[in-house]
Amino acid sequence: MSIPYRVLIGKPGLDGHDRGAKFIARALRDEGFEVIYTGIRRTAAEIAATAIQEDVDVVGLSSLSGAHLRLFPEVIKELKDRGGADIPVLGGGVIPDEDKEQLLAAGLRAIFTPGTPAATIIQSFSDACKQQ
Amino acid sequence: MPVNNSNSLLKGLAARDPRAIGKAISIVENNGQGVTEILAGLDRKCIEEVLVLGITGPPGAGKSTLTSSMISQLRSDGKRVGIIAIDPSSPISGGAILGDRVRMMEHALDTDVVVRSMATRGRLGGLCASAGATVRIMAASGCEVIIIETVGVGQSEMDIVRLADITLMVLAPGFGDDIQAMKAGLLEVADFLVVNKSDLGGAEALVMDMKQIFATKEKESDIARVLQSIASENTGIKELLDAVQRFTTYLTINNLKKQRRKKAMEGETLDWVFEMLRPTLTRKLVEQTGQEQIDPRVRAKELIQQMLPINYHR
Ligand code: B12
Ligand SMILES: Nc1nc2c(ncn2[C@@H]2O[C@H](COP(=O)(O)OP(=O)(O)O)[C@@H](O)[C@H]2O)c(=O)[nH]1
Ligand SMILES: [Mg+2]
């Protein structure tokens, strides 16, 4: 039997839209991932510290309220500060196209917006985990 | 900076480095490179001294919330705490959602609270196969108290009683059917019964009912074994931990903690013996031909006799 990948799904900031995050968490579970879910309204530092403790292969961040440009890079910085610069970070939610480039430049591995099929997202998690 | 070889991991554990702790647990859980060196290199004195508390009870009774409030109390007493939170793996996909942490996030930035969420990965009995090893890794990283939250499905979750020094069963008003199912089972072997959600109606009746079941145990050590809590409001937690502390002393002076540990280590060793033999035995079985007509119990005996010099009387 193969070893399950471990991923963390986090919701940084004050955004309370958790349907997407939970949808992704369940979809990943149904594909054999072990998913640590942090719940809503976490700080970037809390998400990063949890990811390190839980030794996850990948971190996934969800944001629908518009604070992604500040919060996603902050999580990456907090991970780096804790010796986790090697952990890939994926993002998703309501994110305008013009912000995507900026997030990718800040170190996010990929960004997925509403309407993306679950299979595409799972594939992206698998690829990122495999490289770990 | 990736930490990988077992020596630097062991050094990292002793230095309480969160990344090293997480990596060491993963290696052990996944049976990865260096697992033997890591486990053999752990500080035995830390392991001997750590206090292992098991928290079990039906889903929704408040195990995770209680664990979080116990962490707060233990932290204000200056203790470094480890938490192993176990959730079931899906039997179909093998995946799992590990959600106990949601209730413990207030401690996320406290470096003296070490949390690891683990999936059962096919193991029955309420724990995962590496729960024991994870306890010992956390102990070696300086944790003084370790709390294990089991899956919590009820009657058959006996593994926790073996692994933990002290087992707490958490119930709440409104869990009548679950309680009936546990009467011949975990309820009989738990050391403490915590009636959580005591802010809800029906708590007093539940306490009365449980006091009756725990009467003999209360007499034997003269320590209250049925306690009440409102975990969501941090009420009753100090009293609970005081009772646990007194019971720990009782176990220690009567040499019972040592005895429980000895049994736990023997039981876990046996589990691993069977686990490690499984692939070889499976292969031998698959290689056999024309044995389908033999009764499985007779066939098992013959298979073992081919490998080990055992004499069966029956
Ligand atoms: C449902 C909804 C709500 C529900 C939320 C219920 C819940 N518990 O989640 C309720 C009614 C509570 C709500 C409230 C509000 N909402 Co609202 N809400 C929506 C709505 C209509 C749909 C969101 C949704 O659930 N989609 C379904 C899920 C499955 O999709 P998803 O989250 O987008 O996820 C997909 C992808 O984005 C991606 N993905 C998402 N997360 C992640 C993570 C990773 C790691 C990856 C890889 C992928 C990924 O994968 C998913 C599948 O493709 C959107 C509009 C929209 N079309 O998006 C507005 C929307 C998000 N809401 C909005 C607003 C403004 C609000 C309120 C502030 C309204 C108000 N004034 O009160 C409040 C704030 C709530 C809060 N506390 O934060 C705005 C946000 C505007 C912005 N970004 O600038 C939106 C965009 C509507 C709009 N066009 O104005 N809302
Ligand atoms: N009223 C009340 N609710 C509680 C109490 N403790 C926990 N809860 C709630 O009970 C639910 C289940 O709690 P959780 O800790 O996740 O239970 P677990 O499944 O046993 O781990 C959550 O909504 C908690 O907020 C309590 O003492 N009183
Ligand atoms: Mg729980």
- A34-82 per-position pLDDT tens digit: 999 999 999 999 999 999 999 999 999 999 999 999 999 999 999 999 9
Examine the domain organization and report whether B106 and B10 are in the same domain: no
pLDDT given at position B1: 39
Cα(B117) to centroid(ligand 1), Å: 28
Chain A CB contacts of B102 under 8 Å are 37-39
Per-residue pLDDT reduced to its tens digit, A74-97: 999 999 999 999 999 999 999 999
Q: How far apart are CA B22 and CA A115, in angstroms?
A: 35
B238 lies in some domain: yes
Contacts of residue A12, Cβ cutoff 8 Å, sequence gap at least 6: A42, A43, A44, A47, A61, A63, A67, A71, A72, A74, A75
Distances (CA, A) of A48 to A59, A61, A76, B28, B112: 9, 11, 8, 23, 16
Residues B280 and B190 in one domain: no
Per-residue pLDDT of chain B (314 residues; tens, 9 = 90+): 344 689 999 999 999 999 999 999 999 999 999 999 999 999 999 999 999 999 999 999 999 999 999 999 999 999 999 999 999 999 999 999 999 999 999 999 999 999 999 999 988 888 999 999 999 999 999 999 999 999 986 556 789 999 999 999 999 998 877 777 666 677 888 999 999 999 999 999 999 999 998 999 999 899 999 999 999 999 999 999 999 999 999 999 999 999 999 999 999 999 999 999 999 999 999 998 888 899 999 999 988 888 887 776 66
- Which residues in A lie closer than 8 A to residue B30 (C-beta atoms)? 3
Q: Which helix (H) or strand (E) holds B293?
A: none
The phi-psi region of residue B259 (left if phi > 0; otherwise alpha if psi is between -120 and 50; otherwise beta) is alpha
Q: Is B17 a domain residue?
A: yes
- Please indicate, yes or no, whether residues B96 and B234 belong to a single structural domain of this protein: yes
Which pLDDT belongs to residue B18? 98
Q: Which CATH architecture has domain A6-124?
A: 3-Layer(aba) Sandwich (3.40)
CB contact under 8 A, A31 and B93: yes
Output the ligand 2 site: residues, CB below 6 A: B 59-65, 103, 152, 196-197, 199-200, 230-232
Confirm whether B261 is domain-assigned: no
- Whether residue B195 sits in one domain with residue B91: yes
Is B56 within the bounds of a domain? Answer: yes
Q: Whose C-alpha lies nearest to ligand 1, atom 77?
A: A16
Q: State how many domains chain B has.
A: 3
Chain B residues closer than 8 Å to A54 by CB: 22, 101, 115-117
pLDDT of amino acid B314: 64
Residues B51 and B193 reside in one and the same domain: yes
Domain boundaries defined on chain A: 6-124
Is residue B37 located within the same domain as residue B97?
Answer: no
Distance CA B99, CA B170 (A): 18
Phi first, then psi: give them for residue B2, nearest 5 degrees.
Answer: -70, 130
Residues within 5 Å of ion ligand 3, judged at the Cβ atom: B 63-64, 100
State whether B23 and B47 are in the same domain: no
Same domain? B15 vs B106: no
Could you tell me the residue range of the domain that residue B276 belongs to? 266-307
Which tokens is A32 given? Answer: 């054999």
Query: How far is B277 from B118, CA to CA, in rounded Å?
Result: 24
CB contact under 8 A, A4 and B96: yes
B296 lies in the same domain as B233 = no
Provide ipTM, 2 decimals.
0.96
pLDDT value for B154: 59
Q: Do residues B22 and B69 share a domain?
A: no
CA of B88 to the centre of ligand 1 (A): 29
Beta carbons of A111 and A92 less than 8 angstroms apart:
yes
Closest CA to B93 of A132, A25, A107, A71: A25
pLDDT at B55: 96
Instruction: Determine which residue's CA is closest to atom 10 belonging to ligand 2.
Output: B62
pLDDT-based confidence at A132, cuts 50/70/90?
confident
Same domain, B121 and B183: yes
Q: Provide the pLDDT for residue A126.
A: 97
Interface test with B, best of A1, A18, A36, A41 (most B CBs within 10 A): A36
Please name the residue ranges forming H helices in B15-105. Answer: 18-29, 35-40, 44-49, 63-76
| pLDDT at residue B100, as a whole number | 95
- State the ligand closest to the CA atom of B229: 2
Which CATH number belongs to the domain containing residue B209 in this structure? 3.40.50.300
> Please, which pLDDT band fits residue A31 given cuts at 50, 70 and 90?
very high
Ramachandran bin of B230, using left for φ above 0, alpha for ψ from -120 to 50, beta for the remaining angles: beta
Same domain, B28 and B47: no
